[in-house]
Structure 1
Amino acid sequence: MRLTAILIPFVILATSAAADGEDHWAFLPPERPEVPAVGDDSWPRNPIDRFILAGLEGFGVRPAPEADRPALLRRLSFDLTGLPPTPEQVNSFLSDPAPDAYERQVDRLLASPHYGERMAQHWLDLARYADTDGFEFDQTRPAMWRYRDWVVSALNEDLPYDRFVALQMAGDELEPEDPSATVATGFHRCYPDMVDMNDQGERRQLALDDITETTGLVFLGLTIGCAKCHDHKFDPISQVDYFRLQAFFTPSRFEDEFTVATEEHRAEHEAARRRWERQVAALRSALLRLEHEARERIAPGPPPGLTREAKAALEKWEAERSPGETAMVFEAIMGDPRVEPDRLAEELGPEALARRNELREQLDRAEQAEPPPLPRARVLVESSPEAGPTHVLIRGQYGRDGPEVEPGFPAALPGGEESPPITPGRRSTGRRSVLAAWLTRPEHPLTGRVIVNRLWQQHFGRGIVASPSDFGTMGNLPSHPDLLDWLASELPRRGWSLKAMHRLIVTSSSYRMSSRFDSKAHAIDPENELFWRQDRRRLDGEAIRDAMLAASCALNPELGGPPIFPELPPELTKLSSKGAIWPVSSEARQRNRRSLYVFVRRNLRYPFFEAFDRPDTNASCPRRAETIIAPQALALLNDRLAFDAAQGLAARLEREAGPENADRIELAYLLALGRTPDTEERRLAVEFLGDGGERAWIAFCLALFNLNEFVFLD
């Protein structure tokens, strides 16, 4: 009997049991199940395998054999860092006979700074991250990238997931003395924003709606946004629940220019700026004194057209003027239209003129030495312990206030029956701290389940719950409910460490299976819901671009910093100037940084990424589409990125492998595919290359980038 036929009664039963909502499996705290016994004790490497194998044995299905070492290392490297293994890493792994060789590769990759970059991409998809506002003008958000860098850093440092969640909810309340904690609240500032709305109150309400909906999707795995206008049609979430959740965010202030500096850093910066201002003012005053008599002989009295402020500053003694007043006087005197430069030089004479030129050079250098401004970030903060009222909006419409509500959790979830106690702080209502504490309870029915399901999806292409942001009654049922609950309970046991959970998953026999097809297993489970093998997975556009740059030795591995602007197809320069195009980064080294740092414009996705299903950043994306369409082949064959990478790879082969074609071919396969070529592939390569001219090698490298094996993980 097929798996789907067996599951139909279970689906009907689960749907019926969830009719009143509160009995739905996802709303009940997870209970740690016993690890099941299995018939084949030789296969499991850790408890995950026992859950998977128990399900397979129940249907008489055998798990696929383990993948070969090159495929396994390539899969692992892309999964954990988004980058291909180097030839040295491949050869080292293949020649390592130690029983823990694979585990040491896992630990190496988890310790890599590129781990945080890869995992950040998954999280930023959920956070709907972009560097622009969207809508008609799509204005730039200059400081948004600091949130992106915070995510990378937090994941690299293995910040416990409960703290990772809490800081994004309420970093400003939980760690008010640490500016980087406030940067974490940038999660809530990633929404698309129509900055030029006529009614700014409505603009704020739209932002609050987006924050409420995204919080529900990302952390709870619930479509809470469906209850904005009316009670949820399927889940036990009322419209009152929606606005009670929104009330946690209502007092928040949307700060676009938050200074990312400690009090000590601010004081040091202010002192440095005062020293600079005094230095510049002293040089300006010296110039004014030097030129005063000459200017009086040419045009006595104050310059015409002075502002009231400038006139008042001019009437003060020099010693009484502030640096700002000195600047006003300097600008007015030096801009006096009555004084011709040649006449002034004549009146000064050679000695004074030489001194003036010297002072001018000193002033130019001093002005250029202005201390840079303190870093800024786009965050969510509060400035008062008082909170205004939150109302249910009738039909969800701004301006149609209904009953007032207090902050609270969805009634169907534990703790949602009554309003939680909230203690205001000195500059904050304390509301979001309470929400963070509720979300990160170890026994919370959703937070742990949702994140471990997302981790599973990253490594298997599909979650145990195939609808990763919808654990409600209309979402998919878990294929392995006991495994999901075991993982959810294991996360807090391991200190909420995401790296520990990744390690647990990727060291399992379940993860290490090959993608080999089995007709018997396929007949029973054609969708591979039992995970009897690994599904082949296509790389996303970011990983494909990074792999080409890495193979061609062009990838710049620097971490963090402002976004970069790679070249765009020429036809895009003909588009409207209303934010449709961007200034290409002048240095190739900067253009060739990792794809995570490519400028994310809402109204114009980088074309190469768009061909490979880059998600729309106007909404949270829990799982990317994985299409196979003609534009992908055309991009890999014709895009300037692909051609430049092929050219760079060909040059690298000549540089590193020497003159022998056989050595170059082997290195080319190692760099592009993470393995050496077989006999037939060597023969075909030699035949294709002919006399081995430059054009032939470039074409050969381009052909490697166009292989299915290059863009798919086996």
Structure 2
Amino acid sequence: MTWNRLRRPSLVLLLLTALGGIGFVLRADEPSSSTRDGTPLKEKAITQEDREHWAFIPPSRPELPEVLDKQWGRNPIDRFVLAQLEENGLAHAPEADRPTLLRRVTFDLTGLPPTPAELDAFLDDPAPLAFERVVDRLLASPQYGERWAQHWLDLARYADTDGFEFDQARPDAWRYRDWVVGALNADMPYDEFVRRQLAGDEIDPDDPQSFVATGFNRCYPDMVDLNDQKLRRQNALNDITETTGLVFLGLTIGCARCHDHKFDPIRLSDFYRLQAFFTPARFRDDYPVAPASVRHENERQVAAWAADLAALEAAILALEIPLRKQLSLGLRATVTDEVVSAYHKPAAERTPQEVKLLFDTLEKDRRIKSEVFGLLLGPDLASIRTRLRARLGVVQKSAPAALPQARGLDEVGTSAPPTHLLRRGDFYNQGPEIDPGFPAVLASRASQIPVIQPNARSTGRRTKLAEWLLESRNPLTGRVMVNRIWQRHFGRGIVATASDFGMMGAEPSHPELLDWLATEFVARGWSLKAMHRLMLTSATYRQSSRNDPTAFQADPENSLLWRHARQRLDGEAIRDALLAVSNQLNRELGGPCVFPELPAELTKLSSHGAVWPVSRNREDQNRRSLYVFVRRNLRYPFFEAFDRPDTNASCPVRSVTTIAPQALSLMNSKLALDAARGLASRIARDAGPNPDARIGLAYRLALGRTPRPEESELARRFLGPETKESLTGFCLALLNVNEFVYVD
């Protein structure tokens, strides 16, 4: 079945009628949805044509196409690619040579260059499955998780600071980064990977790592000093909703925050229905990460301490709140609903948590000075208040030692606060209350608003959202993820707009292949490593990047994959390669962030190290780029030169520019100069005094191959009567050739 025939309405109706199903049913034009009380919402209808968009039709497993060349293909991927090449009269490129293949796949899976020993082992292995063994070895490497975590963190808009004016540090954000690395290395099935990040606290509430996984939702930029804290929370919910749509569904859901989407069949109500899954969430920065026994003992100590604290705070509030009411000084308008509720409760009914919340809020209200309270209370009560506050100071300082903490989401009960549709996205212009629900174009009228069963500790809303995303008939989740993997290995996704599968996104270059991969992904248990292996061992991946003028004329963008796409390394991989070839790379896994040295001119921005406190240990400075502190308002300059994305938003595809600072960074930066010196020392030590041996090792370390005769001759002439300085200069030149930063 070809793609054009699949798009015909009659076959689409036939296909979906046969599937039946929960939520994913093609229907005729439908009226607008309604609010919680049944009031109709005036919004655009979802039409038959909307539902026929290719991305909203559940993937069906296509038959493998017939091809003329029966010898080339290594797995089903090649049949789909070759069928389109033959249909367009194009030929595939020959297979790349082994050094090129090894360098390509090693950078793809680990972000590091192959070593000379790995090159020799591959070249000396005559077995037909030698390359497959290389792929398996790299997938089993701890460096695989580090490399692919960076791709996921781009999507998650991960950073170690809040952003905005003060850009405060998030000292425990790195725990989420390490969770991603661990999950990828363990080949956690993608469906579980999604569930844990959306609802880990609901799925396994006693597992600290499941809570850490929900840190995905806490990576948003945050204006912590915003006057209206309710608006601050709403901004966070907006960001979480938008990112969920982009990352898991590949849809620009956020465009419907203020009005119905201009291009996609996504309504204003769809945005807020999706947001309602997250409305009950509590944003925690203090979740204790420790074994259950340790955590329970600490919780007992903290509870006893908090009870003492609450008793003192309650006694102080009992003295001060009547005076506030007497002076008609109520709460400020910007406080949260939880504070308002606690304020109006009788004192005896407030929980210790409510007492603390209310006390902390009123402490920030400076409209009444402390001495005024003393005058109004009179000498006896003022004396009691003074003693209470003195005792409070002592108790506050006696808090139990804090356990390691993490950022994430959890919930405090089985009921949820209301979610309101916001007119024009304006927090101060609330519309009707609506229930959690799925985008109408992806659900039938009957299934758009799901039945959600609360569990013992939470509403269960985010668990239900994860279940729907991972439904076998969900048309987007599987397609979006296999497309992201394809994009990283082939330079561009089958759908070039990796986070926009909507009406304005690119159509798939190989639609049947995309559907086959999506169904194969599920069939292989959502295993990411299985999909890597499938793609990497295809003949399509093994092609040379050699240009064919005839093919280029017909398909200049290589959409049909008649050759392998040459790709430039990102800044993190270039820095790691510089450290690796110079034998300086510290391969320690995980842990808190590190701070490499900044250029001298940028250190002036640092207030005695507050902005960028350089790590004292040199080995820490030389850890992998994944562990470099990610400051939103001050990107590490080397990464910024090589197109490190803005961490204020999800990034599906990094820009690739060619600008002067890149060449300047590779030629003149301290990082590059130290790498050249380190590489020269390594060559002098390991290759001995023979010039040819030194040149050969330099090429094998830096470029993953032996030098061609003309390159050896040019190198000998450059080195001349060799000195330490000439060898360092040669190494610096080698680190500046295009081949060092590009992968064929």
User: TM-score, with normalisation over the residues of structure 2?
Assistant: 0.81
Tell me, in whole angstroms, the C-alpha distance in 1 between the residues paired with 2:415 and 2:228. Answer: 24
- The number of residue pairs the alignment matches comes to 624
Tell me, in whole angstroms, the C-alpha distance in 1 between the residues paired with 2:286 and 2:704. Answer: 45
- 2:361 counterpart residue number: none
Letter in 2 for 1:672: A
Letter in 1 for 2:136: D
The Cα offsets for residues 87-139 of structure 1, whole Å up to 9 and x where unpaired, read as 00001101111111100000000000000000000000000000000000100
From 422, 442, 449, the equivalent of 2:472 is 442
RMSD, aligned α-carbons: 2.6
Tell me, in whole angstroms, the C-alpha distance in 2 between the residues paired with 1:485 and 1:429. Answer: 34
2:675 corresponds to 1:645: yes
From 207, 217, 221, the equivalent of 1:188 is 217
Q: 1:104 to 1:272 in 2, by over 3 A?
A: farther
- 2:684 counterpart residue number: 654
8 Å CA contact retained: 1:448, 1:488: yes
Q: 1:371 to 1:609 in 2, by over 3 A?
A: same
From 425, 435, 440, the equivalent of 1:396 is 425
Q: CA deviation at 1:262?
A: 3.7
Q: CA deviation at 1:241?
A: 0.7
- 1:431 counterpart residue number: 461
- 2:106 counterpart residue number: 77
- 2:592 counterpart residue number: 562
From 230, 245, 251, the equivalent of 2:280 is 251
8 Å CA contact retained: 2:78, 2:540: yes
Tell me, in whole angstroms, the C-alpha distance in 1 between the residues paired with 2:152 and 2:706. Answer: 34
Tell me, in whole angstroms, the C-alpha distance in 2 between the residues paired with 1:150 and 1:100. Answer: 33
- 2:142 counterpart residue number: 113
2:520 corresponds to 1:462: no
Letter in 2 for 1:244: R
8 Å CA contact retained: 1:580, 1:603: no
The Cα offsets for residues 353-379 of structure 1, whole Å up to 9 and x where unpaired, read as xxxxxxxxxxxxxxxxx9974211110
Q: CA deviation at 1:415?
A: 5.2
Letter in 2 for 1:153: G
Q: 1:423 to 1:113 in 2, by over 3 A?
A: same
Q: CA deviation at 1:453?
A: 0.3
User: TM-score, with normalisation over the residues of structure 1?
Assistant: 0.84
Moved more, 457-466 or 417-426: 417-426
Q: 1:628 to 1:12 in 2, by over 3 A?
A: farther
Letter in 2 for 1:67: A
Tell me, in whole angstroms, the C-alpha distance in 2 between the residues paired with 1:272 and 1:654. Answer: 60
Tell me, in whole angstroms, the C-alpha distance in 1 between the residues paired with 2:626 and 2:191. Answer: 24
Q: 1:556 to 1:22 in 2, by over 3 A?
A: same
8 Å CA contact retained: 1:453, 1:468: yes
The Cα offsets for residues 522-575 of structure 1, whole Å up to 9 and x where unpaired, read as 111111110110111000000000001000100000110000000000101222
Aligned residue runs from structure 1 range 661-700, under 5 A: 661-700=691-730
The Cα offsets for residues 381-419 of structure 1, whole Å up to 9 and x where unpaired, read as 111101011010010001211011000000000356431
Tell me, in whole angstroms, the C-alpha distance in 2 between the residues paired with 1:468 and 1:12. Answer: 25
2:573 corresponds to 1:534: no
Letter in 2 for 1:181: S
Moved more, 679-688 or 215-224: 679-688
- 1:486 counterpart residue number: 516
Q: 1:661 to 1:269 in 2, by over 3 A?
A: farther
Q: CA deviation at 1:443?
A: 2.3
Q: 1:566 to 1:11 in 2, by over 3 A?
A: farther
Tell me, in whole angstroms, the C-alpha distance in 2 between the residues paired with 1:517 and 1:223. Answer: 36
Letter in 2 for 1:223: T
Q: CA deviation at 1:311?
A: 9.7
- 2:614 counterpart residue number: 584
Q: CA deviation at 1:19?
A: 8.3
What secondary structure sits across from 2:594 in the alignment? coil
Q: CA deviation at 1:579?
A: 9.1
Q: 1:579 to 1:428 in 2, by over 3 A?
A: farther
Tell me, in whole angstroms, the C-alpha distance in 2 between the residues paired with 1:491 and 1:415. Answer: 25
Moved more, 417-426 or 108-117: 417-426
Q: CA deviation at 1:12?
A: 13
The Cα offsets for residues 319-350 of structure 1, whole Å up to 9 and x where unpaired, read as xxxxx88x99xxxxxxxxxxxxxxxxxxxxxx
Uncovered stretches (5+) of structure 2, i.e. residues with no partner: 13-45, 304-385
Tell me, in whole angstroms, the C-alpha distance in 2 between the residues paired with 1:372 and 1:516. Answer: 62
Tell me, in whole angstroms, the C-alpha distance in 1 between the residues paired with 2:543 and 2:149. Answer: 26
Aligned residue runs from structure 1 range 222-241, under 5 A: 222-241=251-270
2:545 corresponds to 1:519: no
Q: 1:19 to 1:547 in 2, by over 3 A?
A: farther
Q: 1:312 to 1:118 in 2, by over 3 A?
A: closer
Q: 1:540 to 1:463 in 2, by over 3 A?
A: same
The Cα offsets for residues 71-93 of structure 1, whole Å up to 9 and x where unpaired, read as 10000000000000000000110
Letter in 2 for 1:414: A
What secondary structure sits across from 2:442 in the alignment? coil
8 Å CA contact retained: 1:255, 1:380: yes
From 46, 50, 54, the equivalent of 1:25 is 54
- 1:320 counterpart residue number: none
- 1:288 counterpart residue number: none
- 1:287 counterpart residue number: none
Tell me, in whole angstroms, the C-alpha distance in 2 between the residues paired with 1:415 and 1:621. Answer: 31
What secondary structure sits across from 2:650 in the alignment? coil
- 1:354 counterpart residue number: none
8 Å CA contact retained: 2:7, 2:54: no
The Cα offsets for residues 272-292 of structure 1, whole Å up to 9 and x where unpaired, read as 999xxxxxxxxxxxxxxxxxx
8 Å CA contact retained: 1:167, 1:174: yes
2:249 corresponds to 1:220: yes
2:233 corresponds to 1:204: yes
2:289 corresponds to 1:263: no
Letter in 1 for 2:539: S
Q: 1:374 to 1:90 in 2, by over 3 A?
A: same
Q: CA deviation at 1:27?
A: 0.6
Q: 1:689 to 1:273 in 2, by over 3 A?
A: farther
Letter in 1 for 2:435: E
What secondary structure sits across from 1:21 in the alignment? helix
From 96, 106, 111, the equivalent of 2:125 is 96
Q: 1:577 to 1:109 in 2, by over 3 A?
A: same
- 1:606 counterpart residue number: 636
What secondary structure sits across from 2:420 in the alignment? strand
Q: CA deviation at 1:678?
A: 1.4
**Which one has a bigger Cα radius of gyration?**
1
What secondary structure sits across from 2:441 in the alignment? coil
Q: CA deviation at 1:442?
A: 2.2
What secondary structure sits across from 2:440 in the alignment? coil
Q: 1:37 to 1:208 in 2, by over 3 A?
A: same
What secondary structure sits across from 1:147 in the alignment? helix
8 Å CA contact retained: 2:439, 2:448: no
What secondary structure sits across from 1:412 in the alignment? helix
Q: 1:645 to 1:576 in 2, by over 3 A?
A: closer
Aligned residue runs from structure 1 range 492-503, under 5 A: 492-503=522-533
8 Å CA contact retained: 2:7, 2:52: no
Q: CA deviation at 1:640?
A: 0.5
- 1:281 counterpart residue number: none
Tell me, in whole angstroms, the C-alpha distance in 2 between the residues paired with 1:27 and 1:61. Answer: 31
8 Å CA contact retained: 1:138, 1:601: yes
